[in-house]
Amino acid sequence: MSQAPRELSTGALPRVDVAVIGGSGLYSLFPRGASDEVIVDTPYGPTSSPVSIGELGGKRVAFLTRHGGDHSVPPHQIGYRANIWALAALGAKAIVSSSAVGGVHPDYPPGTMVITDQFIDRTWGRADTFYDQGSVQHLSAADPFDPTLRDLAVDALAKELGSFAPSGTCVVIQGPRFSTRAESLWWRQAGAHTVNMTMVPEVPLAGELNIGTVNLSFVTDADAGLAPSDDDAEADVETVSHGLVMTRLAEAQPLIVAAIERIVASIPSDFTPRQLIPAEAVDAVLARPVSGDPRLPE
């Protein structure tokens, strides 16, 4: 399916049904030689990685990895607006994202798959809106993840996995450092089940362009080691480290990819996301000038 590099005009952009954003440990989605890579220039600079386009779950899917193919982009420096704008320009109406998360609640131990439904934002300083020029738009964020997509994902994983968490609240921290023990306890007391560094502003930005999102999280660790049980919150468990996260993600990657494929397959071809922002405002954002034409990598 691979093609020789060729120039693409803006009007020649390939169109996709669904987009997948890969988190830590997920740097490819398609078999080797079964996808094309496109570089989409955006008004917000380059995307975290070239966009791979291939077939998954019976859909034409665009995939990019948010930390870059070599995990060189830290969470606070990801070009979230570039990533989401590029996927919108390709026609994506739904995004399935994967995330590595720490567990801060005893019901969410390492190895748990979670369909996230809420987040608590503790980030700062990130460019978190497309509507900072031309018009002011206020995103309704009570239910940040698309309810229809979440229901489809829950049904899909019930058939695939049997055991998983159908909901969960994630506290999104600035990173790239991990939490202190005091912070882990704070997150849990605030009502969080998991902790992550990238759901914000990624999810709200997708909502600003009327793209529905669903998140599949994999619990790699017990954060600062305080969530093994209610009876012994100070139990001696392995605290989070980058090496531990990457090892567990590598072990779980086949399961994660299979779950993503099942979710993608469950999305109907006529899926229509919520219109959270007036269509004309979204069109104005997508019409902003870019630095050049989208192209295949040389």
Write out the DSSP string of 17-74: SEEEEE-TT----S-TTSEEEEB---TT---SSPEEEEEETTEEEEEEETTTTTT-S-
Which residues, in sequence order, are CB contacts of 27 under 8 Å at separation 6+?
49, 65, 69, 70, 71
What pLDDT score does 294 carry? 52
Signed CA dihedral, 265, 268, 270, 271: sign only: negative
Residue 198 has pLDDT above 50, yes or no: yes
- Give the residue extent of every domain in the chain: 15-277
Residue 236 has pLDDT above 60, yes or no: no
Active-site amino acid positions? 221, 223
Mean pLDDT, residues 101-118 taken together: 94
Q: Tell me yes or no: is domain 15-277 CATH 3.40.718.10.
A: no
What pLDDT score does 133 carry? 87
Q: What is the pTM of this model?
A: 0.90
CA atoms within 13 A on the CB side of 143: 12
Residue 63 has pLDDT above 50, yes or no: yes
pLDDT (tens digit per residue) in 120-179: 999 999 999 999 988 899 999 999 999 999 999 999 999 877 789 999 999 999 999 999
CA distance 82 to 94: 16
Residue predicted with more confidence, 246 or 258: 258
The lowest-confidence range among 122-136, 145-159, 253-267, 280-294 is: 280-294
Q: What are phi and psi of 187, to 5 degrees?
A: -60, -45
CA distance 157 to 46: 33
**DSSP secondary structure string for all residues of 150-212:** HHHHHHHHHHHTS--BS--EEEEE--SS---HHHHHHHHHTT-SEEESSHHHHHHHHHHTT-E
What pLDDT score does 24 carry? 79
